[in-house]
């Protein structure tokens, strides 16, 4: 499990494929078995009970890449994963997503004994109301002006977080612009994940060039399981 613990600490970059277990398509996994895809994230805002475990088991048979649960809530924890991204929604002011859900998950984490990776999670306005916004009942931060975002990122740093996920929301109309990623990169010295609304090669490359270490692809692959295969080689 050392590998999973250190996964987001390494000075490396790659694509992360987000699997919504309710929309799981094995074809997606077979078509993302490339060195540019570093790991799978499994989770969603609201899921049918037990579906996460079923999908994790299926994933294990299809791929040897690391798999991290990215839980939307306490019902999405299960054993067959390499680790758990433990997100705290610091862009919002809903106590459930700042501590309440974590309290509900803690006893399950004690039992699962998987590596748990604390992650500051910032939702930005991606041009349409996202599932994260709706389910968490929080408002996203604006992409301009950037002051609130900058202060939030620095707060995450001083709170001791060492992994940050900048999120425009699944299926976002507008992905996070390079200048916003660059601005965060300048003030965030640790691994940075960027996702939401990234649907083509130029946006992936722009996110990496702006300073993202990890770029998340979800909806584009749900719509076209060949998406990653078609954009290779990525030459990040
Ligand atoms: C959502 O950032 C991810 O958490 C992925 O977004 O589905 O728009 O690729 P997309």
- Cα–Cα distance measured from residue 73 to residue 116, given in angstroms and rounded to the nearest whole number: 15
* pTM (two decimals): 0.97
Q: Measured from the CA of 165, which atom of ligand 1 is nearest?
A: 2
In sequence order, which residues have a C-beta less than 8 Å from that of residue 194 and are 6 or more positions away? Answer: 165, 166, 176, 181, 207, 212, 214, 215, 216
The answer to whether residue 212 sits within a structural domain is yes
pLDDT at 1: 43
CA-nearest residue for atom 4, ligand 1, is 170
Considering the domain boundaries, does residue 159 fall inside one?
yes
Q: Residue 78: its pLDDT value, please? A: 96
Low-confidence ranges of the chain (pLDDT < 70): 1-3, 10-11
- Tell me which residue range forms the domain holding 76: 2-6+15-231
Q: What separation in Å is there between the alpha carbon of 68 and the centre of ligand 1? A: 15
The CA–CA distances, whole Å, from 153 to 10, 97, 188, 196 equal 20, 17, 7, 18
Q: Which atom of ligand 1 is nearest to the CA of 194?
A: 2
**Which residue CA neighbors atom 9 of ligand 1 most closely?**
218
The pLDDT, as a whole number, for residue 12 is 84
- Write down the pLDDT at residue 11: 66
CB count within 10 Å of CB 160 equals 8
Query: Is any ligand 1 atom within 6 A of the Cβ of residue 84?
Result: no
Both tokens assigned to 106: 């803690």
Which CATH number is 106's domain given? Answer: 3.20.20.390
**Ligand 1 nearest atom to the CA of residue 198, by list position:** 9
The total domain count for the chain is: 1
236 assigned to some structural domain: no
The DSSP H or E segment spanning 210 is: helix 201-210
Query: Would you say the CB of residue 220 lies under 6 angstroms from ligand 1?
Result: yes
> What is the length of the chain?
236
Is the CB of residue 198 below 6 angstroms from any atom belonging to ligand 1? yes
- Which helix (H) or strand (E) segment holds residue 120: the answer is strand 116-123
pLDDT digits (tens, 9 = 90+) for 211-226: 999 999 999 999 999 9
- Closest alpha carbon to 153 in 188, 196, 117, 183: 188
17 CB burial (10 A radius; 0-12, 13-18, 19+)? buried
What confidence score (pLDDT) does residue 42 get?
A: 97
The answer as to whether 89 is a domain residue is: yes
The reply to whether 135 falls in a domain is yes
Domain annotation covers residue 38: yes
């Amino acid at each position: 499990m050392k590998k999973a613990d250190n996964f987001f600490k390494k000075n490396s970059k790659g694509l992360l494929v987000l699997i919504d277990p309710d929309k799981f398509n094995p074809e997606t996994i077979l078509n993302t078995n490339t060195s540019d895809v570093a790991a799978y994230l499994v989770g969603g805002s609201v899921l049918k009970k037990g579906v996460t475990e079923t999908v994790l088991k299926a994933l294990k048979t299809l791929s040897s890449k690391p798999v991290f649960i990215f839980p939307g809530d306490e019902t999405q924890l299960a054993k067959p994963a390499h680790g758990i991204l433990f997100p705290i929604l610091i862009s919002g002011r809903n106590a459930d997503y700042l501590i309440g859900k974590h309290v509900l998950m803690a006893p399950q984490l004690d039992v699962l004994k998987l590596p748990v990776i604390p992650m500051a999670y910032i939702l930005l306005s991606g041009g349409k109301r996202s599932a994260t916004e709706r389910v968490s009942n929080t408002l996203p931060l604006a992409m301009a002006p950037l002051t609130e975002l900058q202060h939030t990122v620095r707060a995450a740093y001083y709170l001791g977080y060492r992994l940050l996920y900048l999120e425009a929301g699944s299926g976002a109309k507008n992905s996070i612009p390079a200048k916003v990623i660059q601005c965060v990169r300048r003030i965030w010295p640790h691994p940075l994940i960027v996702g939401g609304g990234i649907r083509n090669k130029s946006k992936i490359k722009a996110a990496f060039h702006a300073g993202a270490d990890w770029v998340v692809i979800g909806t584009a692959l749900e719509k076209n399981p060949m998406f990653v295969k078609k954009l290779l080689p990525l030459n990040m």
